[in-house]
Amino acid sequence: MPRYRLLIEYHGGPYQGWMKLPGKPTVQAALEEAAAKLDGGPVEIYGAGRTDAGVHATGQVAHMDLRQDRPNKVADAMNFHLRPHPIAVLKAERVDDDFHARFSATARHYRYVVINRRADLAIERGIAWRVPSKLDADKMQEAAQALVGTHDFSTFRDTECQAATPVKSLWRFDVARYGDRIEFTCSAPSFIHRQVRSMVGSLVEVGRGREPVRWMKEILDATDRQRCGPVAPSDGLFLERVDYDQAT
């Protein structure tokens, strides 16, 4: 059975996350329904990242096995069957049978968008978090550096997380302001459940001036979920890119 790698974009608003859930709309379920129509039978689709309810993607990667080889037609056919879902297959390509969207991935890159203004959101409603109080991006950038490296991220681990360990390696975490827009970008081989939203929510407490810069290291070292700041809403989070070795 030919295996295809899919590059996928989606608006997470209508969905209860990536993973299939009985009786609930999910991105995986919508993709599998489209693939079944394309291939004439059930198709399982495996994603690189299990995004939460309401989280978006501009560079999600998935793979699927089809009964028939359909060169140059898979992306268009999937998009036809996906309509009117806010999901688009940007690219589909044949890959070796040992490629796995999740287990072959070497890095994941997330972006979180905050709009820092008093006025309500119009154009960016549902795809950003509006924070009306003035935020200090420089202080958040400084505080974020305490998170870079290999740490026990229990403080930023959701209580329902099923990961084998809270120890993760965060390669980078940058905070930058572009006018009213503040972007938080982070990269790691993998993340634990709601880690990014938990870290962003805590950094915003620093940006508001409610906590000092050193507080991020203090709560990280505490390895205590109760020390985490408010979790940022899902609206502003995007799975931006997934990396693989060139051989895959």
On whether both 20 and 78 belong to a single domain, the answer is yes
On whether both 94 and 16 belong to a single domain, the answer is yes
Residue 148, domain CATH: 3.30.70.660
Please give the Cα distance from 195 to 108 (Å, whole number): 13
Catalytic residue among 52, 65, 76, 96: 52
Is residue 248 assigned to a domain? no
Which of 68, 103, 138 is the last residue before a domain boundary?
103
On whether both 38 and 133 belong to a single domain, the answer is no
Number of domains in the chain: 2
What proportion of the chain, given as a percentage, has pLDDT over 70?
99
Q: Convert the pLDDT of each residue in 111-154 to its tens digit.
A: 999 999 999 999 999 999 999 999 999 999 999 999 999 999 99
Q: Convert the pLDDT of each residue in 205-248 to its tens digit.
A: 999 999 999 999 999 999 999 999 999 999 999 999 999 987 55
Q: Convert the pLDDT of each residue in 177-196 to its tens digit.
A: 999 999 999 999 999 989 99
Which of 84, 103, 122 is the last residue before a domain boundary?
103
pLDDT at 246: 72
On whether both 180 and 217 belong to a single domain, the answer is yes
| Residues whose CB falls within 8 Å of the CB of residue 246, separated by 6 or more in sequence, listed in order | none
- Beta-strand pair 181-188/105-115: antiparallel
Which of 61, 82, 103 is the last residue before a domain boundary?
103
On whether both 90 and 156 belong to a single domain, the answer is no
For residue 92, give both structure tokens: 């589909």
On whether both 92 and 117 belong to a single domain, the answer is no
Please give the Cα distance from 239 to 218 (Å, whole number): 28
Active-site residue, 52 included: yes
Which residue range is the domain that position 75 belongs to?
3-103
- Beta-strand pair 129-130/237-244: unpaired
Is residue 232 assigned to a domain? yes
- To the question of pTM greater than 0.85 for the whole model, the response is yes
The angle at the Cα of 130, spanning 117 to 143, to the nearest 5 degrees, equals 90
On whether both 172 and 78 belong to a single domain, the answer is no
On whether both 142 and 114 belong to a single domain, the answer is yes
